[in-house]
Amino acid sequence: MERTNARYKTSLKVYFPSPADVEVFVTEKGINSFYESVENRKECCYIRKVKPLNRALNGAKVWITGLRAEQSENRKRMPMIEWDETKQLYKFNPLINWSNEEMIAYLRDHNVPYNPLHDKGFISIGCAPCTRAIEQGEDARAGRWWWEMSKKECGLHSGNKINNLK
Ligand code: SF4
């Protein structure tokens, strides 16, 4: 599915999860199984996020991300440019050393549109059932999968793979 972003005059191609994958997953495990275990949650993320991203990146030479080091422990170790062996492309993280304050200043100075939930304490935003606002002093990723004590990654950037799915 393609549509044109009027502000940036860029054509966007949108990728959805495979309906067949979602049907099997929900039939076998239930509609909210991601709350029941980290394994189920990672399987849901793999079907709904990782697989569509892999399709989008298929044949690409470079993957440009919005990752920032201060978002999580895992991201602190990420370089600005790296070779992704699994996807066979370069991963470019131009914002990796930006602080939250620098990012906000850039948005303000350049009038960049952003998700209004950010102004309501949703510092890191994912799917609706898995995202909440954070409290003062909480980690930036604390609102993602808040019921878990895991590393708070969906697998897009940590290489999670569910072995029983193609
Ligand atoms: S964030 Fe939640 S709903 Fe979204 S893909 Fe991951 S587990 Fe599923």
User: What is the tens place of the pLDDT at every residue in 79-129?
Assistant: 999 999 999 999 999 999 999 899 999 999 999 999 999 999 998 899 999
What pTM did the predictor assign? 0.84
Determine the pLDDT at residue 63.
Answer: 97
Lowest mean pLDDT, pick from 65-79, 109-123, 134-148, 149-163:
149-163
* Cβ of 129 less than 6 Å from ligand 1: yes
CB 50 within 8 A of CB 86: no
Please list the alpha-helical segments (H only) found in 30-99. Answer: 38-45, 51-57, 73-76
Q: What is the mean pLDDT of residues 52-71?
A: 95
Q: What is the mean pLDDT of residues 1-22?
A: 86
Kindly list the strands in the beta sheet with 89-92, ordered across the sheet, starting from the edge strand earlier in the chain: 62-64, 89-92, 81-84
Determine the pLDDT at residue 161.
Answer: 46
Catalogue the E-assigned strands of 30-122: 62-64, 81-84, 89-92
Q: Residue 164 — pLDDT band, cuts 50, 70, 90?
A: very low
* 154 has catalytic annotation: yes
* Cβ of 94 less than 6 Å from ligand 1: no
Structure tokens at 43: 């399987």
Q: How many Å separate Cα 78 from the centre of its chain?
A: 15
Residue nearest to atom 6 of ligand 1 (CA): 45
Residue nearest to atom 2 of ligand 1 (CA): 130
Q: Residue 149 — pLDDT band, cuts 50, 70, 90?
A: confident
Q: Residue 56 — pLDDT band, cuts 50, 70, 90?
A: very high
* Cβ of 17 less than 6 Å from ligand 1: no
Residue 8 to residue 11: CA distance in whole angstroms: 9
* Cβ of 26 less than 6 Å from ligand 1: no
